[in-house]
Structure 1
Amino acid sequence: MSKSAPKTTQMHSPEPDDTLARRGLMFIMSSPSGAGKTTISRMLLEHDPHICISVSCTTRPPRPGEVDGKDYHFVSRAEFDRMVENDEFLEWAQVFGHCYGTPKAQVKAGLKDGQDYLFDIDWQGTQQLYQKLERDVVRVFLLPPSIEELRRRLTGRGTDSTEVIAGRMARARSEISHWDGYDYVVVNDDIRTCFEKVTEILAAERMRRARQTGLIGFVRELMRPEEGDATEAP
């Protein structure tokens, strides 16, 4: 990223209205490598206590410091294949020889209880989630301000060779071509401004009438005549 993340005290994520019962949502952020989805995702998790990352299953071995059940559910390939066969994933993919999948049961239960989930996935995973739970999905795609800036960000990391960067740039163009499969598209020219736009999207989506499951009872109570109220003539 070309700009550092702001201090915690300077950023305030809008709080959802907790007065009424609400169905949770699946907030998806995608972007080509270097466009900022990982940074924005981290900021969102730090500033908003009402959203979390669902714990995925993976066949890769744990890395140092990773905890089973917290970072990932680490499973064997045989167990993963069994879960795929039993349709236990909302989405899954094989990446660099290892499989990753989002367990269906835990997410669906959380959504019912009003829990919001953040997904940092590519357009293929987004399509899978949208096909499974369309009404619960909010899709956001982050774009770099220019291809030149994207290349500068990737080069500035200082971790990849010229060949690797060329491959990432080619993949980025492919990923950008799927921008029109998203509900919202945000250009990440400035990390603070981008974060504010993303939190505005999240706040608005939380307030959609269809997600306010407590509205019907609340409105009926508002409309209930009080004792002694005059009644209208027939």
Structure 2
Amino acid sequence: MQQIYLIEDDPKIAALLKDYLEKYAYGVTTVESFDNVLEEFTALSPHLVLLDINLPKFDGFYWCRKIRTLSNCPIIFISARDSGMDQVMAIENGGDDYITKPFQFDVVQAKIKSQMRRTYGEYAKNDQTDMIDINGLVLHLTAMEAEFGQQRITLTKNEFTLLKTFAQKLNQVLSRSYLLEELWDDENFVDDNTLSVNMTRLRKKLEEIGIYDSIQTLRGAGYKMIDSWSSKP
């Protein structure tokens, strides 16, 4: 049974979500202490997190960053805050999707199913090996990490999806719309800003392991990844 950790401070919403999702054979654990979210997450080791933004003491962005230090499991924000900037902040802090309140339960279930399928199901099983080696840049698929030389970085799910897509289509121009389709299934959560945020973060992380200027921006066309690292000692 796939486990969901629900971090929501409205008891009524939490109870309704828990009851609804358990009908679809998910195991749902609601947060018990908002001071010990990370400890509860570690003990449960869930397959997916549903996370509100407005929480007691620390907000959802804070807890998302903390969880990302331990895990790359899918994190879906559920919040009454519906501004575009909040959605960008959710992605920038490591989230994978965003649902605004009030929501339809079938939309929540569909988004959960989509993230589960991408991370653990049929799409994830299409990879025949646990790593991809591109002239010394190694992508560890299960761990969602990239390694070059003696250095390794951990990526969020979206950052890793982008890097893997670029690596598999090295030297090919990829349009923004193509990359957005790789990242998100639901067109209601396609925001050009979110792609730019993830691209900036991915470039910075690649620089941490000594890979510079590998992802090029082609104005009006999209992006292209070139092998800028193979000539390095």
- Bin the TM-score by the shorter chain: 0.3 to 0.5
Structure having greater relative contact order (Cα 8 Å, sep ≥ 6): 1
Q: TM-score, normalised by structure 2?
A: 0.32
Greater Cα radius of gyration, structure 1 or 2: 1
